[in-house]
């Protein structure tokens, strides 16, 4: 088990579960993370209802070679251990499988507080004209559930800002890096301002291009994070070290 002061404001080239196992219990104020979407959807079984119709019966949900349901159980078990009583989880997920977070969260002492929608003003075009343009993404907020009703951190900004639909452009231009699911920095900064306080510790176990760490630095929060992809890890390291008065070295 690592000591929190030794790993604070550092990022690691590690598998998420290996990383989480070494985080001290009751040490994190907010988990803000975006698991990878490279899932293998097998839309149809070779089954029919006697009439010859094929139908949507089950889906093989895979995250790399990890079953999504099992992944969610293991994730939320670790989140329950490492989060403080006043802590929250903010987790991204495409609508096809956001449902699979709910049961593991509830079974690990979390309550669904809100489903936030990121509305994308400039969604990717539908070149084949065979479906709707995908103009939103789900962000799910879980907070502690217990009899004591421990207050979770929630910084209400104003009525206009606190709608559960956030409107931000899909990244383009200079901010856009070579990462397929990079989130807008301003979106992550807003979530951090609402769900944590200055000097809180925020964890991202699927760090990707490092947006969560950069947002934490800009919002005067502490961070820890990891990614198992060396290309993305180095991308995050470069972004962090490119900020004023910030310098970290590699941790593997």
114 contacts: CB under 8 Å, gap ≥ 6: 140, 141, 164
Of 46-50, 97-101, 202-206, 213-217, which range is least confident?
46-50
From 243, 238, 235, select the one nearest 216 (Cα to Cα): 243
Of 16-25, 90-99, 166-175, 221-230, which range is least confident?
90-99
pLDDT tens, position by position, 11-62:
999 999 999 999 999 999 999 999 886 544 444 344 343 444 333 334 444 5
The answer on pLDDT for 107 being more than 80 is yes
CB burial class (10 A; 0-12, 13-18, 19+) of residue 50? exposed
Residue 93 has what pLDDT? 84
Residue 226 has what pLDDT? 97
Mean pLDDT of 77-92: 96
Residue 53 has what pLDDT? 38
**Distance of alpha carbon 94 from alpha carbon 137, whole angstroms:** 6
- Average pLDDT over the chain, rounded to an integer: 85
- Residues of the chain with pLDDT > 90: what percent? 62
pLDDT tens, position by position, 152-196:
999 999 999 999 999 998 887 888 888 888 899 999 999 999 999
């Amino acid at each position: 088990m690592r000591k929190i002061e030794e790993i604070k404001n550092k990022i690691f080239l590690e598998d998420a579960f290996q990383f989480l196992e070494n985080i001290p219990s009751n040490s994190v104020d907010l988990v803000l993370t975006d698991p990878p979407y490279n899932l293998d959807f097998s839309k149809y079984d070779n089954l029919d209802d006697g009439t010859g119709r094929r139908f949507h019966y089950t889906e093989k949900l895979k995250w790399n070679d990890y079953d999504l349901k099992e992944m969610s159980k293991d994730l939320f078990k670790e989140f329950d251990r490492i989060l403080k009583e006043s802590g929250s989880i903010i987790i991204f997920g495409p609508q096809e499988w956001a449902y699979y977070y709910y049961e593991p969260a509830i079974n690990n002492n979390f309550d669904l507080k809100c489903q936030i929608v990121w509305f994308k003003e400039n969604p990717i075009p539908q070149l084949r004209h065979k479906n709707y343009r995908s103009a939103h993404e789900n962000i799910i907020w879980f907070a502690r559930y217990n009899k004591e009703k421990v207050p979770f951190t929630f910084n209400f900004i104003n009525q206009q800002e606190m709608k559960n639909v956030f409107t931000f452009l899909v990244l383009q231009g200079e901010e856009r890096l070579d990462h397929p699911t990079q989130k807008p920095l301003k979106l992550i900064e807003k979530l951090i301002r609402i769900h944590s306080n200055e000097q809180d510790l925020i964890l991202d176990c699927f760090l990707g291009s490092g947006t969560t760490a950069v947002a934490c630095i800009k919002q005067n929060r502490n961070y820890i994070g990891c990614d198992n992809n060396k290309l993305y890890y180095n991308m995050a390291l470069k972004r962090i070290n490119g900020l004023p008065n910030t310098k970290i070295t590699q941790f593997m």
